């Protein structure tokens, strides 16, 4: 894993600032230094940097508790529950890459953001624009631009 600067949206920066403020208010001050980095955003209740498996455990717990709540609520309302499948932070990388592609982000920029050495990894492994939904979106773009498809 290399070190690089990754550009973030203003919304992402605002979310990180909010987490930092919340950590401060809760007294979660991270004084640990790892490879010269300090002041981590995602920390444990003891103020130590959260490890990748800790992030995934947090995600699993959120989904678990949401699904338990949704099952109970759906039963009370006599409807089918809308459940969320378990996912990991790595799945979120795939989703982020696909969403960049759907938004029209240049493939070389997406490659840089994802940290891939080769753009084919970004295109063929992480980018999941390969279904009927995405094909319909692209056709709508053609229609919007007045492009006519002829076979």
39 in a structural domain: yes
- pLDDT of 146 > 80? The answer is no
Q: Quick one: pLDDT at residue 102?
A: 85
Please state the domain count of the chain.
Answer: 1
Predicted model pTM: 0.72
Q: Quick one: pLDDT at residue 151?
A: 54
The Cβ of residue 114 has, within 10 Å, a number of other Cβ atoms equal to 19
43 in a structural domain: yes
Residue-number span of the structural domain to which 31 is assigned = 7-50
Would you place residue 2 in the very low, low, confident or very high pLDDT band (cuts 50, 70, 90)? low
Average pLDDT over residues 128-147: 78
- pLDDT of 148 > 70? The answer is no
104 in a structural domain: no
Distance (Å, whole) CA 60 – CA 58: 5
Would you place residue 62 in the very low, low, confident or very high pLDDT band (cuts 50, 70, 90)? very high
In eight-state DSSP terms, residue 37 is B
Would you place residue 150 in the very low, low, confident or very high pLDDT band (cuts 50, 70, 90)? low
143 in a structural domain: no
63 in a structural domain: no
Distance (Å, whole) CA 33 – CA 63: 31
21 in a structural domain: yes
């Amino acid at each position: 894993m290399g070190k690089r600067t990754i550009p973030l949206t203003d919304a992402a920066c605002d979310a990180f600032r909010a987490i930092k403020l919340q950590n401060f208010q809760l007294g979660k001050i991270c004084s640990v230094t790892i490879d010269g980095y300090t002041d981590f955003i995602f920390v444990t209740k003891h103020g130590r940097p959260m490890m990748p498996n800790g992030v995934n455990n947090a995600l699993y717990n959120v989904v678990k508790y949401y699904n338990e709540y949704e099952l109970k609520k759906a039963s009370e309302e006599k409807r089918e529950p809308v459940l969320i499948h378990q996912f990991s932070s790595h799945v979120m990388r795939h989703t982020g890459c696909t969403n960049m592609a759907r938004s029209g982000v240049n493939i070389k920029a997406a490659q840089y953001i994802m940290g891939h050495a080769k753009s084919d990894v970004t295109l063929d492994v992480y980018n999941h624009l390969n279904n009927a939904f995405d094909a319909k979106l692209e056709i709508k773009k053609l229609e919007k631009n007045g492009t006519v498809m002829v076979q």
